[in-house]
Each structure stands twice: as structure tokens, then as C-alpha cells.
Amino acid sequence: IRRGNVEGLSPLMFIFALVGNMTYVASILVSSLQWSKISANLPWLVDAGGCVLLDTCILIQFVYFHYWRSLDPKSKPAL
């Protein structure tokens, strides 16, 4: 964030991680929606859900710094 760019960041890695974690959460929830099954898997649901949230934040930053900020003429550094 301090540098204001996303140079060296691979968005595909975060997209694949996001999709993988979402399918993992979905696979746990699709097997059963009974609380006894969900409570047994709650640590893994929280872990994967947290990763989904963090990966989404990183992808939003990538879009902001790579696309939106490059369209704003005021954000160009002076040389």
C-alpha cells in the first residue's frame, strides 16, 4: 500500500486460492447443514472463510492499484 503499486503480485495465485477456499467451504456446508456437523468443522470453516476474506481484499487492492489508479491523472508520480 505504501508503494502504491502491485508490481510482482500474481493475481491468478489469489484467484485460484479464493476459488479453492470457496469450494472447500461449500463442500463442508453441502455435506450437511446440521449444527453437529458444522460445529465439528468450524475451525476449518473459519480458517477457509478468513482466507476468502483476505484474498478478496488483496484482489480489490490489485484492481485499485493496477486499473483504477492508473486511470487517475493525479496519481501519476512526478519525475
pLDDT tens string 10-62? 889 999 999 999 999 999 999 888 888 899 999 999 999 999 999 999 999 88
The pLDDT assigned to 76 comes to: 55
DSSP one-letter string for the chain? --S---TT--HHHHHHHHHHHHHHHHHHHHH---HHHHHHTHHHHHHHHHHHHHHHHHHHHHHIIIIIHHH-GGGSPP-
pLDDT-derived band at 9, boundaries 50, 70, 90: confident
